[in-house]
Every structure is written in C-alpha cells, then in structure tokens.
Structure 1
Amino acid sequence: MKEPAIGDPGLPPAEGEEEHLSLALANSTIALPGGLTIDLLSTPAQANQWLAERGLAPADAGMREMCAAQLRSLREQIRSLFASRAASLPALTAAVTAINDAMTRVPTAPLLQWDDETGPYRATPHPITAIVDHALATLAADAADLLTSPDGDRLTACGSAPCSRYLLRRGRRHWCSTRCGDRARAARAYSRRRNSG
C-alpha cells in the first residue's frame, strides 16, 4: 500500500483522475472546511513524489524549487482552464498560452550543441530540466485532450463548498468524493431544518 503524502487528506481520486493526469494535477491543491488548504506539491520533495507516483519522473530525480514552482504554475493554468470550461466561460489567453508553451517546450531530438574546443555535438538538456519539461508537456497535452474531448462536457467543479477539486460528472453526481457528498447533503438538511423552524 502506498504511503500517503505529507498533508494528504486521504481523499480518494475524483472521478476521472485515473484517466486524466491533468485532472489529478488540478486536484493536487485541496480546500478543506475551516479554511485549511493542502498543497500536495508545496515542496520539491512532494512535487517529485507526486510525479514519480504517476510515472512522470524517477523517485530520485532530485527536484529543485524552480521545477516544483513550474509544476504548481502549470496546475494553476490548468485549473483556470477547467474552471472556464466547467462554467462555459471564455478562457484566459495566458492559460491557453501556458498550456501550449508546456506542450512545445520538449525537444523531440537531442539538440545541437557547440563546444569551442571539441566542436559540435548533440545532447539533451540538463537531465532534471528535461524530466520536468517532459512531465509538464505530458500534463499539458492531457489537459488539452481532456478539454477538447467529449469528456470536457462532463468536467465540473465539486458541488460541496469549500472543496476546490474537479471531476468528470457521471450521472447526477456532482461531488468529488463521498465525504463531500455527505457534507453537501448534511448542509442541505441543516438548512431545511433551520428554515422550517
């Protein structure tokens, strides 16, 4: 059994996360009752663990803060696009640009390099940078695929405040987890009792 991440609230994956890595990335920041927010990518080690668990980086990649910040930044751009799609609103140009930039950043071949003493050679960029760029490209491409596929019509925000997760709606279900569904039903029941009394 997998060890939970530091600060992991123990929520199961939201509907669609297993098929769409971008949905899992969007849900890697979680708002909980009481104003608490958990960020599963808050440190380089946590970002490395998150990527490794999804086969996007080796467990010992040695992620640095700059790389973790790039991952968190892409997450916010994806969340922006998911919010726009779920609410049928126009997308922010900067978010679309960020997704396209991430998808096109990864070279398809080793690049030409030139050393003044030894001459031309081909090499890939710094290994950690290459790992992160590849992960970002994979996540961005998955987000683009999700947003443009029929599944994009099922994309919705969890209907239980203050939850900030997204899911693919299946039937009438609008909650990312049983916990959020129970919380929403309890809030409705409390409101009915209060208003009837």
Structure 2
Amino acid sequence: MSELLTTESVLPPVPGAADYLALDFVNSAIALPGGRFVDLLGTPATTNQWLAERGLAPANAGVQEMCAAQLRSLREHLRALFAARVSGLPALPAALSAVNDALSGAPTAALLYWDEKHGPYRSAPCPTNEILDRALATLAANAADLLTGPDADRLTPCGSAPCNRFLLCHGRRHWCSTRCGDRARAARAYARRTQSKPR
C-alpha cells in the first residue's frame, strides 16, 4: 500500500505559497527530474487529503473521481492564466470562463447564527454536496486575488528545468526550492565547462 504524498514529501512549498493557496494548488502537479511526475490530486484519496490539509474539506469528505477531475481541470485553467500573466499574453477565454464559473458556483456570504452559549457568530453553511463548489470558489478567488493584486508582478515560473512550479520571486531568486536552485547552478556550471573545452 503506497502512502499518500504531500507537497512537502516531494518539494518544499514555494515562496508565496503561505500567502496564496492558489500557488499551492497550481503546483500540486509537479514535474521532477528523470521524467518523473507527481500529481497530488491524481486520485480521489490524494485529492481528499490535499483539500483536508488546507481546510477546504473534512478528512472524511469521500471525494469521488468526478470531483477530483473538476479540481484538476480548474488547476490547468489557473496554470494557463498564470502562464499568460507571466508571459504578458492574453488569457485564454476558456480559462477565464472556468475561473468565473468557479467563483460564482458557491455562495460567499457567511450567514448569521446564534449559539445559546456564545451568542451570535457568522459562518458559511457547507452541506456535503457543496464542499466541492466551495473549494473551487475559494481557490479561484485566491488565484484572482493574486493575479489582480500587487504581488502579480512577482509571479514567475521556476527557472530550473524540468520544474513546472510557479512562485513569487524575491530579488534575484527565481527557483522554487534550494534543490531546484542547486540543479540550475550545476547545469550552468556544466554548460560553461563544456563550452570552454577545446575541440
């Protein structure tokens, strides 16, 4: 029986992931050296785990393949929008439509409740059949905040092939992790050595 994977067991979180859940979401499909690929939303069980770890679903939500597929689809649309933003290209209409559909798929207003012991409080109702809609809306809203906010100019892809993760760059750092930075530096050093050898 294989253990469920977490992002941390593959690579540490990227710079900016603590502030933007959408970065963590977009980076849940990870290309690794040697042609390996890890999809943290690859099965209903890993999708349920990913959502639960981020407070987007209860641990026992019982995510089905249809729900996991909807999340993977939104992830690819967000990846396309992030890539368009970084490249300065127009957004694909299908990607914008998918994000707007997710944004409007769940009510966002927290309702007023009253507890006899603690008094009034607000909470968003979330019946089991709305868990996916709420997760999609939350992730889409977070991505929209990133793409339209002051950190959008810091959004960049990792500069170490074959890594496909996005991050918020700090200064000159354009790698998602120390491992990717080391790999990029080693590749540059190797290229310099091979170019300087006499033929």
Same fold (TM over 0.5): yes
SS in structure 2 of the partner of residue 156 of structure 1: strand
SS of corresponding position for 2:142 = helix
The residue number in structure 2 matching 1:115 is: none
| Alignment partner of 1:80 is 2:84 | no
Q: Deviations over 1:52-75 (max 9, x none)?
A: 101110000000001111110110
TM-score w.r.t. structure 1 length?
A: 0.87
TM-score by length of 2: 0.86
Distance across 1 between alignment mates of 2:10 and 2:126? 35
1:17 match? 17
> Displaced runs of 4+ in structure 1, greater than 2 A?
6-10, 125-129
Aligned to 1:92: 92
Match of 1:142 in 2: 142
**In the TM superposition, what is the alpha-carbon distance from 1:10 to its structure 2 partner?**
2.8
Instruction: Tell whether 2:61 aligns with 1:61.
Output: yes
Q: Which residue of 2 aligns with 1:179?
A: 179
Give, in angstroms, the shift of residue 132 of structure 1: 0.6
Do 1:28 and 1:40's aligned partners in 2 also have CA atoms closer than 8 Å?
Answer: yes
Is the aligned partner of 1:34 residue 2:34?
yes
SS in 1 for 2:192: helix
Residues 108-163 of structure 1 show CA distances to partners (whole Å, capped at 9, x for unaligned) of: 58xxxxxxxxxxxxxxx994330010000000000000000010110000000000
Aligned partner of residue 194 in structure 1, secondary structure: helix
Which runs of no fewer than 5 residues in structure 2 stay unpaired?
A: 110-124
Give % identity.
67
Match of 1:70 in 2: 70
Give the secondary-structure state (helix, strand or coil) at the position aligned to 2:84: helix
Change in Cα spacing, 1:7 to 1:17, as seen in structure 2 (3 Å) is: closer
Gaps of 5+ in 1: 110-124
Cα RMSD for the two superposed structures: 2.1
